[in-house]
Chain A
Amino acid sequence: HAPRNQDLIHFNDPKWSNMWYIHCNNKSSRCRSEMNILPAWQRGYTGKDVVVTILDDGIERNHPDLAQNYDQLASYDVNGNDHDPTPRYDSRNENIHGTRCAGEVAAAANNSHCIVGVAYNAHIGGIRMLDGDVTDIVEAKSLGVQPDYIDIYSASWGPRDDGKTVDGPGPLTKQAFEQGIKKGRKGLGSIFVWASGNGGRQGDHCSCDGYTNSIYTISISSTTENGNKPWYLEVCSSIIATTYSSGEFKERKIMTTDLRQCCTEGHTGTSVSAPIVAGIIALTLEANLLLTWRDVQHLLVNTSRPLHLKADDWKTNAAGHRVSHLYGFGLVDAEAMVLEARKWRTVPPQHTCSQMPERHTRYISRSLNSSITTSGCSEDPEQHVDYLEHVVVKVLIVHPRRGDLEINLISPSGTRSQLLAKRLFDSSSEGFRNWEFMTIHFWGERAEGLWSLEITDSPSRPRRPEVLGKLKEWTLILHGTSQNPYQPYSTQHHHSSLLETPGPDEVLEEPELQDEEKEEYNGPCHSECGDQGCDGPDADHCLNCIHFSLSRSKNDRACVSHCPLGHYEDTVSRRCRRCHKGCEKCVGRSAGDCLSCRRGLYLNTLSSSCIDTCPPGYFADNYQKQCSKCHDTCRRCLRYADRCSACNEGYSLAGVTCVPECTNGTFFHLEEMMCKPCHSSCRTCTGPSEEKCIQCAEGYLQQEWRCVQTCSPGYYSEEAAGVPNNMCHRCEQNCLSCGGPGTTCTKCKDGYSLVSRTCIANASCNNADEMFCDMVKSNRLCEKKLYRQFCCRTCMMNG
């Protein structure tokens, strides 16, 4: 139980006294204020200048608790295609959800109405997008509204939580997420908060929801007042943290704003939790607006904690984080978030390392184990993952009953994460087609080593025993950083003052950290350390180096024996210095000092620089990774020197070869390497025979690919644009001779009769009575090409 707060803040909002999850007011009941929202307020953080929007069925913008903080720029009506997100009112009050979520984030404080939002000074907007057909376009548009203006998008919806649905974002929505984290908030990345599923009663598993299971969303679950699992809660490995919500008999509930300017105590489910976290993140961003989308996830990992939350699967991973499939890293802590945020140093760039075991189909009888040993892509500095963040397993599984499967992943450190539990209601035979399961349970662990995927198949109902499931392929996708994301505070303190943003209150003392700075190290140094010693055991603890010093980030240097790719060895200063952008090896830092280039770039041998497109006369030689010269006769070539795509003057292209241009009536004979005469019917040609004509000689007509003196039967002669002589065109179908295009037949093939200058099959209909023929005539079917053979002759002959 948390110590009772000294209730320094009091608001006149009528439901304030009932907001047990924010403050203690009743000494006879337990305090459940461990989310530490009040202490964060007391430090001065209330969400000022932070913009949150709710993706839902709209928000009541004139609600007295929302009007003050309502922000039109953070709002849009995707369903109605206008700027007003007001919900559609109906007798059943179907569209209450967005307004309820919005109040939790940013209901105004001290206005004598209803409640107080977690970030009661934040801007709040609403994206109305659930009141209509929700398509990939609707979702993608909603996630991309004002990405540079909106900081936090909170969504409390998803695919059906019925225990049998496997569904996630479509291609556009996936792109919208990616664009959001890459470009949103002017490059810091949009923050997407998502409610994990409510399908607990249906045995659902939130790994089957591609939104909550995405690395781009912060997936939030719920706990009851006493720390029990609410009846609705789903388990899964992508949940990162938890808040209080309602969900157990005789326990207190959550208050919020309701439609028609009302208040409610009826809001429940994980929809309560996502907006609470969105509010807490708003406080955190107020403490440090420079946090990236990944910084926010790191902060949640580091500050959320299990407390009294009851789950039988709490475990400590190899990085020391306590984590559960019900609650992620535990209950959020607003005060810890703002305090950490103030002194936070942006984590190193995200790297992604993918690895796939040898591709062959494996049958899943009762269980199947498949392992991969990975170096975390240490061979490629751009992909190297040493310290883990999200881990994704993409599987292609064929299975007669999907719900019978359970999947676990075991990290090299021995941590086991359940990616999927059995789902009793899921009888689908679709299997998992490139479905991505995500886990945050290995956060902070090291990537290198043996990873094991365990698949268990336990039939819950009789199944045909001879039909086995198959694991066709799987890919391990590791996300993380190549270096420790958390530098010792002393280093940060000295070097990263840019990111330290003191809060509105006084800067806090950090006695523990100051003590840490004074500690002395007496152990052995790394073998690359020089004569001045070290202050720790690793290569980045050296005070000077034997060989070269490599800067891995602004504040992180390590000693190395050789400089890695992308660097050159400056022997004077004994430092690894960066090559020019795009160089893999170089002798200096300028663009013209490259010796070889990174993948996708080619060395221009004339300028010693790396370029992505070779100049004319050169081709991109993938083998030598340089621009090599095309054959002398080629003006341009593709992939090989002699594979020409354009020729120099005096040469013309024959296939992919440039050959000397020959005079009219001759062609270049490739075997004899000389100009030879065309067939007498050709003016120009590509070979000696009459089928090789390009243009016909005087007095000849072009018919198909030959030059003829007169058109063959079934052809008629006509002028053609761009051709000096006439051409022979084919008559209409079944004509033996004709006067021109269309219905101009003069003679028909055998088995056809000439009717109205068109050739109609001789066959007669046995059902062509008068009425039928009247229908054929009145609809003028015989004039329509598609119906021409439709008893026309019979009807014509019958008059």
Chain B
Amino acid sequence: ATGHGHVYTNHWAVRITGGAEQADKVAAKYGYRNLGQIGSLEDHYHFYHSRVVRRATFSLKGPHSFIHMDPMVDWAQQQVAKPRVKR
């Protein structure tokens, strides 16, 4: 994917039904670490991949990208750093 000025991080938001154990399994399968549920959003988990560049202008592809095709994964999104300004 091209950058469009985005900064891609090594964090992913992933929606998996079946509970935290299932999420742990999927995370381990593709080399991620499951950092737990995202706030109070059920079935949404925060995944982290230590072997992906921490900040990149491109969404780099690799074996970790296969998570998007896993049948247990409803939705996954690599996190982009959003410029936010204090007012």
Binding site for B on A (CB under 8 A): 56-57, 81, 97, 130, 133-137, 139-145, 147, 156-161, 165, 167, 170-172, 175-176, 179, 183, 195, 197-198, 269-271
Contact = CB atoms under 8 A, between A and B. Distances in A.
Interface stretch (B22-30, B33-41, B66-74): B33-41
Main secondary structure, interface of B, reads strand
B43 to A, nearest CB: 11
Contact of B41 (A144, A157, A271): A144
B20 interface: no
A159 B86 CA distance: 9
A135 B41 contact: no
Contact of B7 (A133, A165, A167, A197): A133
Given A57-B86, A167-B82, 17 more contacts: A56-B86, A97-B86, A136-B79, A137-B13, A137-B46, A143-B39, A144-B39, A144-B40, A157-B87, A158-B85, A158-B87, A159-B82, A159-B83, A161-B85, A175-B41, A176-B39, A183-B40
A145 B39 contact: yes
A708 B38 CA distance: 56
Contacts of A57: 86
A75 to B, nearest CB: 15
A477 B82 CA distance: 27
Contacts of B81: 133-135
4 shortest interchain CB distances as A-B pairs: A144-B39, A135-B79, A133-B81, A144-B40
A193 to B, nearest CB: 12
Interface of B: 7, 9, 11, 13, 35, 38-41, 44, 46, 55, 77, 79-87
B84 A136 contact: no
B84 A157 contact: yes
A222 B24 CA distance: 47
- Listed residue (A133, A143, A198) with the most chain B CB atoms within 10 angstroms of its CB: A133
Contacts of A137: 11, 13, 38, 46, 79
A502 B7 CA distance: 53
- Listed residue (B9, B13, B84) with the most chain A CB atoms within 10 angstroms of its CB: B84
Contact of B87 (A139, A179, A197): A197
- Listed residue (B11, B38, B77, B86) with the most chain A CB atoms within 10 angstroms of its CB: B86
Nearest to A272: B87
A130 B87 contact: no
B39 A135 contact: no
Contacts of A144: 38-41
Given A143-B39, A172-B41, A172-B44, A136 B77 contact: yes
B87 A170 contact: no
- Listed residue (A135, A147, A167) with the most chain B CB atoms within 10 angstroms of its CB: A135
Given A133-B9, A171-B77, A198 B87 contact: yes
B9 to A, nearest CB: 6
Contacts of B77: 136, 171
A158 B40 contact: no
Nearest to B39: A144
- Listed residue (B7, B39, B40, B77) with the most chain A CB atoms within 10 angstroms of its CB: B39
A139 B11 CA distance: 13
B87 A159 contact: no
B57 to A, nearest CB: 14
Nearest to A268: B87
A58 B11 CA distance: 22
A136 B87 contact: no
Contacts of B39: 140-145, 176
B9 A195 contact: no
8 contacts: A133-B9, A136-B80, A137-B38, A139-B82, A144-B38, A144-B41, A175-B44, A198-B87
Contacts of B55: 133
A97 B87 CA distance: 9
Nearest to B81: A133
